[in-house]
Structure 1
Amino acid sequence: MTSLFSFLVVLSVLIFIHELGHYLLARLLGVGVERFSIGFGPRLAGWTSGRTDFRISAIPLGGYVKMVGDEPDAELPEEDIPLSFTHKPVWKRMLIVAAGPFFNLLLAVFFLWGLVFWYGLPVMDPVVGDVKAGSPAASAGLRVGDLVVRVDDRSVDSWEEIQKLIRRASEDQAMVFEVDRGDGIRQVRIFPELMPTPDALGAMVMRMGIGADPFIPPTIGFVSPGFPAAEAGLKSGDRVIKVNGADSPTWMVMARKIQESSGERLILDVEREGIRLSLEMQTREEVMEDGLGGKITRHVVGIAPEPYTRAEKLGFLGSMLEGTRQTGEIVTVTGIALARMVKGSLSRDNLGGPILIAQMAGSEARKGLANLLAFIAVISVNLALLNLLPIPVLDGGHLMFYTIELLRGKPVSVRGREVAQQVGIFLLLSLMVFAFYNDILRLFRG
């Protein structure tokens, strides 16, 4: 019930904001609106204001704004022509169509801004948690447990600051790390180099690095539905004590042991609310880009850490900028994920539909309001980008038609639009069927 209720809340908020964007721009630019509907199908409830019927409809899997004259070949009374969508200049129609996805992006900015302002920005302490053998950090003598206090005469207060400085560094220039080992401050000179580094989606990309990672406790922050960890019963908040009988003091040590299992059965000893449990699972094999134009095989169980150790207050303006930056980052990651799915370098098994969204919404709602709002922000960005794809029947398809109209000086023919919309409906239905198929497979696996 929590998942169902959370799903309806998430979907209602996203649909309302999206359609509100279309509605407000339409009214602002002088277009009449006949219907504002949350959902499709028969009208369940609502009210009428002016000529607009605001309604909640029976099928809660979308929504729409019905504007005066939005069908190009429809006959209109003379008095409705000034209010007709079709009779407006093409640039006005483009703004009205683009307003829906834009409002979804604004929603993400607003929620993330509010979360950062209220709770602070989660950051990791500048403590070394892992040093890779043979890396620049290992060669320079950096150690696990070192507290980094300065880098190149700049004070650092978080691991994120260290990462930014490293990524801006040059290969031929040493970076001076001042570290505290409990017995005084000492300097360590490290020459960073380009090395394969996992990006936000797990694929390897070439970035400047030193071969050291922050201290991250082996506590589960998120369990992906349908993956081996979820099937075995691993839950958010579980602390991993051992992997196949070997101690797991940090997340990186645990991750390495999982990767080294190469598909063999794993036994994870975890602590959950003071109770010790042993959970058995088998890794799933995934092929990812290696950052050098090739492929690598990773063994995953579908878990992510909870790495942040504290929250940093940024103030009103700083929180707004951070919320905007985070939204931009989600846009980038989502765009890369879509591109990799098309190329086949990211498994299409990651694609999910309403069932997966409901599962994740319920999971985030159980963690608290902040997690649910952050989840809505991410899904809102996904909805915006999906709607901007150049597929007829989506907002991006309409924008494509209007761009052609701008270039040709006349609209696409009615027949051309009809054929394109039929193709668009087929593509959209195929995508929905595939997403439902993945959802159902996850349910059976679970």
Structure 2
Amino acid sequence: MTENPGFLLTVLAFVLVIGPLVFVHELGHYIAGRIFGVKAETFSIGFGGTIAGWHDKRGTHWKLGWLPLGGYVRFAGDMGAASQPTAEWLALPPEERAKTFQAKPLWQRSIIVAAGAIVNFLFAILILGSFAYLEGVPRTPPVIAMVAEGSAADRAGMKEGDRILSISGRSIGDFEDIYRIVRFSPIEPMQIAIDRGGNRLSVDVTPGVLVERDRFGNEYRMGQLGIGKPPAVYDDIGLLEAPLVGAERTWGIVRLMVDTLGQVVTGRRSVKELGGPLKIAQVSGEAAMMGWESLIGFIALVSINLGFINLLPVPMLDGGHLFFYAIEAIRRKPVPVEAQEWAYRGGFALLVSLMLLVTFNDLTSFGLWQKLGGLIG
């Protein structure tokens, strides 16, 4: 029998996941702007009508919107999709204009734009580093303890005692590295370098597919080599080493995201596997049911996702702004406003289309269309 976190817990957990991450992301923009002397006119968590709001002594309007699916910081002078100066900006007194976003040099504007994603990554590093400090770090050697008969590893000629050195060019430090790479690559050909009695060998392997079903009824297609691992070994780490481990784990997750995105773009992975806000809400509730540690770990994962997605070079996202700034740095002058406006329209259309796609996928995973079909039939 499957478990269900219920509607109220799902909504509460979703707010607990998204709310702090939006705040952290926008706080990164805000702090960077403050450092460079840019006035923040509005700091909003959520969209829509204002539930609560106040003005601080610097004139910033802090507000909480009723739709907690995003947020924004509006800096003085940041006008229009292309963030180009307007007649109103040019008419400002010099001392006021100096506090605007557009008055700052290109490198400062770039840091302000990138700061949101950077803080998301730092937040994840803090969480994952804390877990490593409290629980220890797995250091199980990447040595094959067993090869299942007829498995992908067996067909490739891998043997008990082989030490895995790398997978598709990625260095393997411990057995967990093997698991992290293979599980997200079902039926994905890969080349594995092994050490067998001091001799370096290379084998081509295509992992099999293991379909697992969790306590909530969700099914997952995972890659499987069919090898066993030796007894687990955990090492305690110091406080100074924890951030390094957190950064290493964060980078590993980013690489997996890049691989997954590449698989979707090239058609090796179905777009049906892409999820949106509804799926995040569902998993948030399930993670909350599994305990605080699971929920906090999920927050770290979503924080990395938020930072990664925002850095994609898509107009309307932070990465789109940075892309135009890079062109501006090369050309020594801004991209024409008309070109930026058209690009942002295209970026907006792309994001809306993607949102519709992932929402459709979410509803499909919930079985909505099957239920509707049953009612109609």
Same fold (TM over 0.5): yes
The reply on whether 1:198 has 2:182 as its aligned counterpart is yes
Shift of 1:366: 1.6
Shift of 1:414: 2.5
One-letter identity of the residue aligned with 1:368: G
Unaligned runs of at least 5 residues, structure 1: 143-147, 152-161, 169-196, 212-217, 230-250, 257-304
Instruction: Report the equivalent of 2:342.
Output: 419
Match of 1:410 among 333, 336, 341: 333
8 Å contact kept, 1:225–1:356: no
One-letter identity of the residue aligned with 1:108: A
Instruction: Report the equivalent of 1:177.
Output: none
Shift of 1:135: 5.9
Instruction: Report the equivalent of 1:334.
Output: 257
Cα distance in 2 for partners of 1:37, 1:377 equals 22
RMSD, matched Cα: 3.3
Unaligned runs of at least 5 residues, structure 2: 1-7, 80-84, 170-180, 197-202, 204-209, 372-377
Match of 1:314 among 206, 214, 237: 237
User: Could you say if the C-alpha distance between residues 69 and 198 of structure 1 is closer, same or farther in structure 2, counting changes exceeding 3 Å?
Assistant: same
One-letter identity of the residue aligned with 2:99: L
Shift of 1:74: 5.0
User: Could you say if the C-alpha distance between residues 167 and 81 of structure 1 is closer, same or farther in structure 2, counting changes exceeding 3 Å?
Assistant: closer
Secondary structure of 2:54's partner? strand
Instruction: Report the equivalent of 2:128.
Output: 112
The reply on whether 1:70 has 2:78 as its aligned counterpart is yes
Shift of 1:129: 3.9
Secondary structure of 2:347's partner? helix
Secondary structure of 2:16's partner? helix
Cα distance in 1 for partners of 2:168, 2:256 equals 18
User: Could you say if the C-alpha distance between residues 107 and 74 of structure 1 is closer, same or farther in structure 2, counting changes exceeding 3 Å?
Assistant: farther
User: Could you say if the C-alpha distance between residues 41 and 312 of structure 1 is closer, same or farther in structure 2, counting changes exceeding 3 Å?
Assistant: same
One-letter identity of the residue aligned with 2:184: A
Deviations 1:323-377 (A, max 9, x none): 1110110111101111221111111111001111111112222222222222111
User: Could you say if the C-alpha distance between residues 223 and 127 of structure 1 is closer, same or farther in structure 2, counting changes exceeding 3 Å?
Assistant: farther
User: Could you say if the C-alpha distance between residues 391 and 136 of structure 1 is closer, same or farther in structure 2, counting changes exceeding 3 Å?
Assistant: closer
Cα distance in 2 for partners of 1:224, 1:326 equals 27
User: Could you say if the C-alpha distance between residues 85 and 228 of structure 1 is closer, same or farther in structure 2, counting changes exceeding 3 Å?
Assistant: closer
User: Could you say if the C-alpha distance between residues 391 and 311 of structure 1 is closer, same or farther in structure 2, counting changes exceeding 3 Å?
Assistant: same
Secondary structure of 2:98's partner? helix
Normalising to structure 2: TM-score of the pair? Answer: 0.76
8 Å contact kept, 1:130–1:252: no
Instruction: Report the equivalent of 1:30.
Output: 37
Comparing both structures, which one devotes a greater share of its residues to strand?
A: 1
8 Å contact kept, 2:29–2:116: yes
Cα distance in 1 for partners of 2:298, 2:33 equals 29
One-letter identity of the residue aligned with 1:61: L
One-letter identity of the residue aligned with 1:121: V
Match of 2:67 among 59, 73, 81: 59
Shift of 1:18: 0.6
8 Å contact kept, 1:122–1:308: no
Shift of 1:97: 0.2
Query: How many pairs does the alignment contain?
Result: 322
Instruction: Report the equivalent of 1:193.
Output: none
Shift of 1:443: 0.7
Comparing both structures, which one devotes a greater share of its residues to helix?
A: 2
Instruction: Report the equivalent of 1:268.
Output: none
Secondary structure of 1:422's partner? helix
User: Could you say if the C-alpha distance between residues 442 and 225 of structure 1 is closer, same or farther in structure 2, counting changes exceeding 3 Å?
Assistant: farther
Cα distance in 2 for partners of 1:435, 1:92 equals 35
Instruction: Report the equivalent of 2:172.
Output: none
Instruction: Report the equivalent of 1:364.
Output: 287
Instruction: Report the equivalent of 2:192.
Output: 207
Deviations 1:188-213 (A, max 9, x none): xxxxxxxxx936333231111479xx
The reply on whether 1:355 has 2:371 as its aligned counterpart is no
8 Å contact kept, 1:391–1:397: yes
Shift of 1:320: 2.0
8 Å contact kept, 1:34–1:51: yes
Secondary structure of 1:317's partner? coil
Shift of 1:222: 5.0
Cα distance in 2 for partners of 1:165, 1:65 equals 44
Q: How does 1:96-107 map to 2 (within 5 A)?
A: 96-107=112-123
Match of 2:318 among 395, 399, 404: 395
